[in-house]
Structure 1
């Protein structure tokens, strides 16, 4: 699904990503993990075709990220850290507005998602009156209007309460069961452990580790710890 070969990114003389190589299978839910400044958001923006790499190559479903951006964007949904919706419009108005921009969007499908994600009762409320959790849900649903195969989420639960986080993680797990490929960046180890099947672990622009959740526990000096958060914390240091 996603193949990166010697992928790198520089801003001036600073190397933000250093020759990364990985292959993500279709249907995986991958946690993108690392401390601030590790290069997580840069990597996700490159995969989402919002930023160009400085070298190497990336293919998504066999398509070159540099040469076939239009076709790739039909396959991906990108959710930024910021809530990118119109707060003075209602939930329904936002969905209808963005649906006009999303090729292949179906009102029947997004209404069904609203039911599944418990947003249907809030369709006629202005976004500014929604809870933080429901604003975050709307942000994700807008990225899914065209029913993408790949969903890229950059810290999508920042600033909301624990119960709202749990709801979103459970909804994303359902998408994984439907066969969606998900890249998920977060600093919340509990979210990552609950949701993700594999992990990309970055530090200072380098790919320290890529593999399954089980292999994460074998990596690092606290490999025998039963505390997954402690294991991740030790790896990213």
Structure 2
């Protein structure tokens, strides 16, 4: 694991332990300070990147360790912690019966800093405008992912976790994705963690975390 430190810490990980039964530990005493800018979570397919994102999002419980997002501790204030972190699982079926607009409203619930202008910019970049009133189950895999990405990158939450964000996207949308990430990290106090099995060259990296951890 390699990690370069940044000046402003958005996500603090202390002595994190996580493993599935009868499996090697995904994280074994892992500590890190993730700051502003883009952090690459790098590992082969099946190495546990998606699981680690769920743990960092407070959606899956680690066996030990502490997580703080924007200074809020997960164990002490779980709901407040989750309001500091945006994560939408790309393959989730939880929003299937909702329209794209309703799904976006739900994903942005409680997000006082949600930026409607940035969301609209991403709707255009991702060619989502014709689909806004459609139910999510009617969309292609790529379009479903775009809905989550648009909500994530318009979010006012200080930490955004993206799981293989370029997966199933067309070239135009991939270009729009990286430009949106650039706009986001230009704002102070914004951290983006990108989980990928490919190295990232499209935007400058603040740090790289390589699996396995510990």
Q: 2:203 aligns to what?
A: 195
- Aligned partner of 1:103 in structure 2 is 110
Higher RCO, 1 vs 2 (CA within 8 Å, ≥6 residues apart): 2
Aligned Cα RMSD in Å?
2.8
- The counterpart of 1:185, out of the listed 195, 203, 207, is 195
Partner of 2:54: 45
Higher helix share: 1
1:33–1:186 contact (8 Å) kept in structure 2: yes
Q: Which residue in the other structure is 1:219 paired with? A: none
> CA offset at residue 33 of structure 1?
0.3
Once residues 47 and 174 of structure 1 are traced to their aligned partners in structure 2, the CA distance between those partners, rounded to angstroms, is 23
> How far is the alpha carbon of 1:20 from its aligned partner?
1.2
**TM norm structure 2:** 0.77
Are 2:75 and 1:70 aligned? no
CA contact (8 A) 2:41 2:209 kept: yes
Deviations 1:115-174 (A, max 9, x none): 211144543345455555443221123446762111011123322233322222221221
Task: Please give the TM-score of this superposition, normalised by the length of structure 1.
Answer: 0.71
What does residue 113 of structure 1 align with?
118
Counting only pairs closer than 5 Å after superposition, residues 1-237 of structure 1 correspond to structure 2 as: 1-14=10-23, 15-25=25-35, 27-84=36-93, 86-87=95-96, 89-96=98-105, 98=106, 102-105=109-112, 109-110=115-116, 112-117=117-122, 118=124, 119-120=128-129, 122-127=131-136, 130=139, 132-143=141-152, 147-179=156-188, 180-189=190-199, 192-197=200-205, 198-202=207-211, 205-206=212-213
Q: State the match for 2:5 in structure 1.
A: none
SS in 1 for 2:165: coil
Provide the C-alpha distance between the structure 2 equivalents of 1:17 and 1:104, rounded to a whole number of angstroms: 30
Change (3 A) 1:160 1:146: closer
Aligned residue pairs: how many?
198
Structure whose alpha-carbon radius of gyration is higher: 1
